Amino acid sequence: MVQIPTQIRKYYRPEYLHSALICGVTWFLWKYFRQSIIKSPLDNLPGPPPQSFWKGNLGQIYDRHGWDFHREIGEKYGPVVKLNGMFGHKLLYIYDPKAMHSIIVKDQYTFEETSWFIKSNMATFGPGLLSTLGDHHRKQRKFLNPVFSINHMRHMLPIFYQVTHQLRDAIESRVRDGPAELDMLGWMGRTALELIGQAGLGYSFDPLVKDVPDAFGDAVKSYVPTISDIAFFRRAIPLFSTIGSAEFRRKVLEMFPHKGIQKIVEIVDTMHRRSTEIFLARKEALLRGDEPVLQQVGEGKDLMSILLKANMAASAEDKLEEKELIAQMSTLIFAAMDTTSNALSLTLHLLAQHPNAQEKLRKEIVEAREGQDLPYDELVGLPYLDAVCRETLRLHAPAPLVFRETRKDVVLPSQNPFKVWTVQ
């Protein structure tokens, strides 16, 4: 028998508990199961059958080795496909160019990030660019846009060259005595971390001279594989994001019996701790004056120093909170490191498979350099280098999937015709 504490016994009414339970279960069933029993206009679109009612096609979408599935739906069903999410939830899978331009560019504020994506990023990165919507998102973009301008990229190029020279020397030292097998994905990960560290934060994570792992880098590199392992839990975050306090939710996660959940908690703690340490050091240097900053990595031209200066000079209503600036750091490091390292590794992989293209690219770069580092405008003006980069990204996009939700009714344009099935 359940013993009810004396202090709350007089308020206890079984009928209230039963009513609350019935209402809660009814709401859950209606919210998450209605799409499986109610006909949807999306039912007229072709698509593969779900793997299961619980997962739908999400297991196939998130499978990091599931290229056959993506190839099949592209070849069999056309540019607009109906997929199934959890509990029969209907999803549109689109790769029509005109439709994608509308979703990503033209009508981007109608097609916004999904709630589970936003709340998941809020839990892992904090209130950064990947965790906000609407006016708040535009406010953060306003601060970040200047540091991603072409003019600022020109100033960053010497830092990029310095890091790539360190990479060249590190690899050269390992093959000086003869051919050797090197893990280029690992080297590209270390290089990408150092690039964003120096250019983004004015901080050196890895001088690339010793095989010493960095806790921050290891955490960022482990993020995507770990988050993929808990993809279904990640989609459930909106359900629990408003239950209790942040401290309570943290305790629940710490006790949750799943290795992936425990791993992501460890990763998030590491990223937040190191981001906070670096942020406070940069802030202290700026408050001391420009001279100490110029003596540090990046010479005060890094993204974080520029953001801190802009935030200090901003009006009260335009200022970002410190927790937002710290969140931008974790967000930028993750977004820049993972995508850059994957793209560079795949470029090297494709060039190794096509030695003729490798030789043609090498010849173009060597002739243009004449032994010197190329200025920004000359570098981006190399036609074959541009073609190699574009073709690599076309074949192997570092971020192949984006999820969006519509905020209002909209007519989605289509460049190519697509099939419509008749629902009996």
Q: In the chain, what are the domain boundaries?
A: 36-113+403-424, 144-353
- Alpha carbons 334 and 281: distance in angstroms, whole number: 20
Tell me which amino acid residue 387 is: A
Q: What is the pLDDT of residue 11?
A: 45
Question: pLDDT digits over 201-219, tens only?
Answer: 778 887 787 666 677 777 8
Task: Establish how many alpha carbons lie within 13 A of residue 227's alpha carbon, considering only the half-sphere containing its beta carbon.
Answer: 19
Q: Please give the pLDDT value at position 243.
A: 67
The confidence score (pLDDT) of residue 346 equals 93
Predicted local confidence at residue 349, as pLDDT:
94
Contact 92, 55 (CB under 8 A): no
162-185 pLDDT, tens digit per residue, is 999 999 999 998 888 888 888 898
Q: What is the second-level CATH architecture of the domain 144-353? A: Orthogonal Bundle (1.10)
pLDDT in tens, 133-148: 888 888 888 877 777 7
Would you state the structure tokens that stand for residue 236, as one six-digit string? 């459930």
pLDDT at 407: 85
> Is residue 219 a contact partner of residue 267, using CB atoms and an 8 Å limit?
yes
Instruction: Pick the most confident of 34-48, 265-279, 381-395.
Output: 381-395
State the pLDDT at residue 239: 60
Contacting residues for 89 by C-beta, under 8 A, at least 6 apart: 32, 35, 56
Contact between 114 and 86 under an 8 Å Cβ cutoff? The reply is no
Task: For residue 406, give every residue at least 6 positions away whose Cβ sits within 8 Å of its Cβ, in sequence order, or none.
Answer: 110, 111
The span from the CA of 76 to the CA of 413, in Å, is 21
pLDDT of residue 52: 83
**Cα separation, 307 vs 310, whole angstroms:** 5
- pLDDT higher than threshold 80 for residue 279: yes
pLDDT, residue 423, reads 46
**Proportion of the chain above pLDDT 90, given as a percent:** 13
| pLDDT surpasses 90 at 345 | yes
CA distance 224 to 338: 8
Residue 114 is predicted with a pLDDT of 83
3-state helix vs strand vs coil in the chain, percent to 5: 65, 5, 30
CB atoms within 10 A of CB 265: 16
Contact between 83 and 47 under an 8 Å Cβ cutoff? The reply is yes
**What is the overall mean pLDDT for the chain?**
80
- What pLDDT score does 113 carry? 85
Tokens 């905020």 map to which residue? 407
Q: What is the pTM of this model?
A: 0.77
User: What does the block give as tokens for 213?
Assistant: 């792992």
> 288 or 280, which is more confident?
280
| Confidence check: pLDDT of 290 > 80 | no
Residue 243 exposed, middle or buried by CB count within 10 Å (0-12, 13-18, 19+): exposed
pLDDT at 10 over 70: no
